[in-house]
Chain A
Amino acid sequence: MRKKLMLTALAPVLFALGAGNLGGDEFDQEDIDRWQEQFMQVVQEGRALWTDGTLGTNGVACAQCHPNAANTHPETYPKFQKQMGRVVDMWEMFNWCLQHPLEGEELAADDAKMIALIAYARHERRGVELEPGKH
């Protein structure tokens, strides 16, 4: 009885999906290109922030010590940071840099700027094997 009711309730939804878009697993090259474009736009925003002396308060930019985001080791996070005394993710390490060398404010993990910074650093590290925890 209960099952029947549910199916009845879902029927119009299923009908609507079938008649319009074919569903979540159907996408074509155009979609892929668009998603890649969206991603690369965020990478570009990340690169702009990476070289921006106004991200912190003292004019220092991430790129000053990390050209092309080198030596940030995105493939090793999360990992144990002995000075923090626990396993941390990359955004926490980025916040450490924002607060200390850049003398600025930390960003929330889901702040669009943080996501852009991480997208840029990972993009520069593309192709490198994942090695979480590595020191």
Chain B
Amino acid sequence: MTQSNRRKFIQRAASMAAVGTLPLTYVKLGRSEQSAEFSFAFLSDSHIQHIRGNEFVRNWDRGLIRAVAETNLLNPKPDFVIYGGDLAQLGTKPELDHGAELLSALKYDIYPILGEHDYYLDLGEYWSDIFKRPHYYSFDHKGVHFVMLNSILTYDEWTFERWPTAEQRMNEMAGLDNPNGSPFLVGDAQREWLKKDLAEVDKSTPIVVVSHSPLQKIYKGWNFWTDDAEQMQAILAPFDKVTVLYGHVHQIQYNQIGNISFTSAMATAWPWPYPGSYAQAEHYLPVLTVPMNRADPFFERDATGWQFVDVHTGRVAVHYNLYDNAVRTVAWNEDTGRPEDTVFQDPAARIPPQQHY
């Protein structure tokens, strides 16, 4: 990032902080290049949870309702919305219906992907019915090629043979720390599809891949993990500019592996601890990541939020709209060749709530 760009980012972060916790107006960056310049919103992990009858867990409902309302107020308007999966908690029709209804208030087109909580009851059948989308697909927008994955598949024996009922299969996968779960996979068939899909795409075309699980290995115990991550990275390696946006982790993470930039989404529902705060675990949180603030449980929306994503010449800047904290921005830094927090990347700039233990 040039000095002047850095200054603009900081100015923008400051201007957003000035409007308080609802950063509804974004100052547009001055840009010289016209190609691949647009924005979209990125919402994820709402975990709409059915209690009984027409009752749903209020806390999770409020998170999605707020994200939708704020997204609708964006100015300039985003071109579309990406939904990063885990709309439902246990993949039931009432949950998917209710979640889709809350999402239907969005004034924009929506490109959703599946999370494991949407999938393992009926293997994504009802989800496809209501969203009219296949489980994985791609599209082009203003010079950027978007790949929308179903990265939460797993081994066939686990999916098709191990569990006596679909409900039990869903429940076993729904427990993040459940040792009966199974590592996520993109899988052979989808990787073959992706190779064919990308064969048509010029190597200089910016690629944005959206997956639910990180296409990198961070902590297997909570499935912050994709078992065929290396194979996926190899497929993406020949392209000049690749960004992977992912959900599932309910926290700020970002990384650079070779040519691939990774940036995660906050959940609208609840935050998750960083793996390092589980004393019995070995984990690989990217060292580049400056953590989100530790959540204050007394504020139910704290450490939840959604993302506004700026695409500029095929690189992305992700603005984390945190309901009870200042906005965080993780943006591609042209000088260092990696995504960085525009305010807190320097260890000297970090604040006590970013210490997790």
Contacts and interface: CB of A to CB of B under 8 A. Distances in A.
Contact of B51 (A58, A63, A66): A58
Interface in A13-61: 51, 58-60
B277 A71 contact: yes
B219 to A, nearest CB: 10
Contacts of B280: 68, 124, 126-127
A101 B47 CA distance: 14
Interface string B270-295: 11110101111100000000000011
Contacts of A70: 273, 275, 277-278
Most buried by B among A60, A67, A83: A67
A124 B51 CA distance: 29
Given A67-B222, A67-B273, A127-B279, A97 B177 contact: no
Interface residues of B, number: 30
Interface string A96-135: 1100110000000000000000000000111110000001
Main secondary structure on A side of the interface with B: loop
A83 B280 CA distance: 30
A28 to B, nearest CB: 29
A124 B298 contact: no
A63 B278 contact: no
A64 B86 CA distance: 13
A87 interface: no
A59 B279 contact: no
Interface of A: 51, 58-60, 63-68, 70-71, 73, 83, 96-97, 100-101, 124-128, 135
Given A60-B49, A67-B176, A97-B297, 16 more contacts: A58-B49, A58-B51, A58-B58, A63-B177, A67-B177, A67-B273, A67-B278, A68-B221, A68-B280, A68-B281, A70-B278, A71-B356, A73-B357, A100-B297, A101-B270, A101-B297
